[in-house]
Amino acid sequence: MNINLYNRELQNGYVLQQIEKYKAAANLAPVIIKVINQFDGKMFNVKLEKALREAVPGKYIHARKEYNNIIIGFYEGADHFTLASIPIDKLTDGKRIPSDLLTEDARKRQEGFLKKAYEMQTAYDNMDTIFKQLEQLKSTIKAIINPIPYEMLDVYRLENYRRL
Tens-level pLDDT at each residue, the chain (164 residues): 555 567 888 889 999 999 999 999 999 999 999 999 998 888 888 898 999 999 998 888 898 888 888 899 998 888 899 999 999 888 877 688 889 999 999 999 999 999 999 999 999 999 989 989 998 998 899 899 888 888 888 888 888 887 77
SS3 101: helix
pLDDT at residue number 70: 87
Q: How far apart are CA 19 and CA 119, in angstroms?
A: 9
Q: What is the pTM of this model?
A: 0.81
Q: In what order do the strands lie in the sheet with 69-76?
A: 61-66, 69-76, 79-87
